[in-house]
């Protein structure tokens, strides 16, 4: 007997989050390049969203993406906990809880980056960027470890995730190191606009490419969650009066 229903799976959540982030990057880059607010070649993502009007589109889209990505990580956590509970592996559950906190921290960092532009509050913007990328890399690494050790039904999934984790880690190391050297050597007038004649241009190219590769790797990693979340759905949320004495008393179902 078939158990299929007409309920939609949760795999649309990571796809929607990735599409929002891609849209934010494409729109902000297109506008900033058109107005000459950033370099046409090899700009930082933050440079393409530093000035208005592009920062308005970037901020709005990234806020929605941050909320969806955080919810996506929570959904992955819940399905992982459910699967691990059947095997009673406490260590795996601990890894999942740690991954959830790092994932939520990464999502929050994405919102901070979007709302505190580098031209506004630079320190807060950098803290958000560190949270976004560092916590994101840690999240990717933990989920990859959990997939390898506990979810071996699809062996090539954890292997692909491991490749993305390695690429993310290498890019995450190159981004700040080469970026610091490039910033120190820069001799132009506007640091958001680089040309091959500027000192440190080669380091800037490596740093900028590392940021774009890191972002692409994280997005591809989130897409891999579709293979697990497609088999799960959301049931109606129940809101209950906290002072009620019975479970059915004053219960409201949000559907």
- The answer to whether residue 29 is domain-embedded is yes
Amino acid 150: pLDDT:
85
Cβ contact 132:69 at 8 Å: no
- The answer to whether residue 7 is domain-embedded is no
Amino acid 231: pLDDT:
86
Return the bridge partners of 238, or none.
253
- The answer to whether residue 242 is domain-embedded is yes
- The answer to whether residue 151 is domain-embedded is yes
Q: How is residue 79 written in tokens?
A: 């399905």
With a threshold of 0.75, does the pTM exceed it? yes
H helical segments located in the chain:
12-35, 54-85, 90-115, 122-150, 155-185, 201-224, 226-229
- The answer to whether residue 21 is domain-embedded is yes
Q: How many domains does the chain have?
A: 1
- The answer to whether residue 1 is domain-embedded is no
Q: How is residue 67 written in tokens?
A: 């909320």
Task: Please list the ranges in the chain whose pLDDT falls under 70.
Answer: 1-7, 153-155, 244-255
- The answer to whether residue 170 is domain-embedded is yes
Range of the domain at 70: 12-254
Return the bridge partners of 252, or none.
239
Amino acid 241: pLDDT:
73
Q: What are the tens digits of pLDDT across the range 29-80?
A: 999 999 999 999 999 999 999 999 999 999 999 999 999 999 999 999 999 9
The DSSP element (H or E) to which 240 belongs, if any, is strand 237-240
Instruction: Give 244: exposed, middle or buried? Use CB within 10 Å, 0-12, 13-18, 19+.
Output: exposed
Position of tokens 């889209």? 61
Amino acid 1: pLDDT:
38
Cβ contact 54:105 at 8 Å: no
């Amino acid at each position: 007997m078939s158990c299929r229903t007409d309920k939609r799976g949760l795999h649309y959540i990571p796809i929607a989050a990735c599409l929002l982030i891609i849209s934010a990057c494409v729109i902000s880059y297109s506008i900033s390049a058109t107005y000459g607010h950033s370099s046409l070649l090899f700009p930082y993502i933050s440079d393409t969203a530093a000035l208005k009007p592009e920062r308005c589109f970037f901020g709005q889209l990234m806020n929605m993406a941050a909320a969806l990505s955080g919810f996506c990580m929570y959904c992955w956590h819940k399905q992982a906990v459910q699967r691990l509970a059947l095997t009673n592996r406490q260590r795996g559950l601990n890894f999942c809880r740690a991954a959830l906190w790092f994932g939520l921290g990464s999502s929050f960092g994405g919102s901070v980056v979007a709302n505190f532009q580098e031209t506004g509050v630079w320190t807060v913007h950098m803290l958000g960027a560190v949270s976004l990328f560092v916590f994101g890399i840690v999240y990717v690494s933990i989920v990859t470890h959990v997939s390898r050790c506990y979810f071996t039904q699809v062996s090539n999934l954890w292997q692909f995730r491991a490749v993305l984790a390695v690429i993310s880690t290498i890019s995450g190391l190159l981004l700040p190191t080469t970026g610091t050297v490039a910033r120190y050597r820069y001799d132009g007038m506007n640091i958001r606009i680089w040309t091959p004649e500027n000192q440190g241009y080669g380091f800037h190219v490596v740093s900028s490419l590392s940021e774009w590769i890191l972002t692409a790797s994280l997005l591809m990693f989130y897409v891999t969650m579709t293979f697990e979340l497609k088999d799960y759905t959301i049931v109606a949320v129940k809101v209950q009066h906290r002072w009620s004495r019975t479970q059915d008393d004053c219960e409201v179902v949000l559907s």
